[in-house]
Chain A
Amino acid sequence: MNPNNYLILAGILFTIGAFGVVVRRNAIIVFMSVEMMLNAANLAFATAARTTGTLDGQVAAFFVMVVAAAEVVVGLAIIVTIFRTRRSASIDEANLLKY
């Protein structure tokens, strides 16, 4: 089994996640897309661990998970706060910070 396949899969998932961030307007789905990108990165880390024969890649993936958890907590809290004031979860609604 060629490890390149794992990397290609990671690339596909990352691209789909990025696409989702750009085209979706629901803030929660945007967040999910970000999580998908992080997962793709984790997959690449795990693959790297296998190709190099060390566990460092897995540790990196572990740290990414920790950071992702923290990010999700704060991000969702922000979404809830915005929803409270603007009664909408669309990120296009929050566009006052502009020219």
Chain B
Amino acid sequence: MNGESVVFWITAIFAVVGALGMVLSRKAVHSALWVAFAMVNLAVLYFTLQAPFLATTQIVVYTGAVMMLFLFVLMIVGVDSSDSLLETLKGQRLLATLFGLAFGALLLSGVASTIALRDNGLDVANGDYGGNIQGIAHLVFNRYLLAFEVTSALLITAVIGAMVLAHRERWAPRKTQAELSRERTFTSQVTPLPNPGVLARHNAVDTPALLPDGTPSQASLPKQFRETSHEDEAAKEVTS
């Protein structure tokens, strides 16, 4: 048992636990956290694989940026929206288990039995240009320059695509301040609307505030969360 083995076994087990936790969690937020956990462990494994650049990127890009993006979207969609674990498609779970086990078993037995890998180590490669990052930079800006340039096009396309998809046309002209104040003054709701989550068990954006008499107030929710109250969702779960 050298140091690498110790680190590997601990992080490997953590990573598998994280992955399983992602699949088995009922709530999306929990899944996201499990994924972040597994990814951090993977970053540690990259260190043992003599890839410090990848390890850093893994933490910065994946756990830092991508997973945070996931959490933002979860905020929009509703932090509390939990998945029913009841399967609706007939035979889906059974077949998925069967195929998953078969695929995994075949993959692992194949890896274990047929490939005898030599551990060449990256000491030489990392040392060629004075470090791992320098070595990767050399490859990216020489041999893989074209691919690198193409990824820039891919990224800009993705950004524009995301903007186009998330964009909504304004159908009515923007209301002026005068209109807004008039609206507010001459409707029944003079006071500001309650914020979501006030006095409730969650402060998530999709949790309605509780009124003094204990009834949830739909008016406290942003528009896209109204109507689909917790009661409705619960009813949906039962029927499905």
Contact = CB atoms under 8 A, between A and B. Distances in A.
B20 A16 contact: yes
A55 B228 CA distance: 51
> Among B77, B118, B126, which residue has the most Cβ atoms of chain A within 10 A?
B77
B200 interface: no
Interface residues of A, number: 71
Contacts of A24: 23, 83
Contacts of A54: 125
B166 interface: yes
A97 to B, nearest CB: 16
Interface residues of B, number: 91
Contacts, number: 241
A53 B162 contact: no
Contacts of B107: 11, 14-15
A8 to B, nearest CB: 5
* Majority DSSP secondary structure for residues of B touching A: helix
Given A50-B121, A66-B154, A69-B61, A79 B136 contact: no
A9 B17 CA distance: 12
Interface in B127-174: 132, 135-136, 139-140, 143-144, 147-148, 151, 154-155, 157-159, 161-163, 165-166, 168
Interface stretch (B96-104, B178-186, B190-198, B209-217): B96-104
Interface of A is mostly: helix
B19 interface: yes
28 contacts: A1-B4, A9-B45, A11-B108, A12-B104, A19-B97, A19-B100, A24-B83, A25-B83, A32-B22, A39-B39, A43-B42, A46-B45, A47-B49, A49-B49, A52-B120, A56-B143, A62-B53, A62-B57, A63-B147, A65-B61, A66-B151, A73-B158, A73-B159, A76-B69, A77-B165, A83-B77, A84-B224, A89-B81
Given A11-B104, A59-B140, 11 more contacts: A7-B115, A23-B87, A28-B31, A50-B122, A51-B120, A54-B125, A62-B136, A67-B151, A72-B69, A73-B159, A81-B166
Interface of B: 2, 4-5, 8, 12, 15-16, 19-20, 22-23, 25, 28, 31-32, 35, 38-39, 42, 45-46, 49-51, 53-54, 57-58, 61-62, 65-66, 69-70, 73-74, 76-78, 81, 83-84, 87-89, 92-93, 96-97, 99-100, 103-104, 107-108, 111-112, 115, 117-122, 124-126, 132, 135-136, 139-140, 143-144, 147-148, 151, 154-155, 157-159, 161-163, 165-166, 168, 224, 227-228
Interface of A: 1-9, 11-20, 22-26, 28-29, 31-33, 35-36, 39, 42-43, 46-47, 49-56, 58-59, 61-63, 65-74, 76-81, 83-84, 87, 89-90, 92
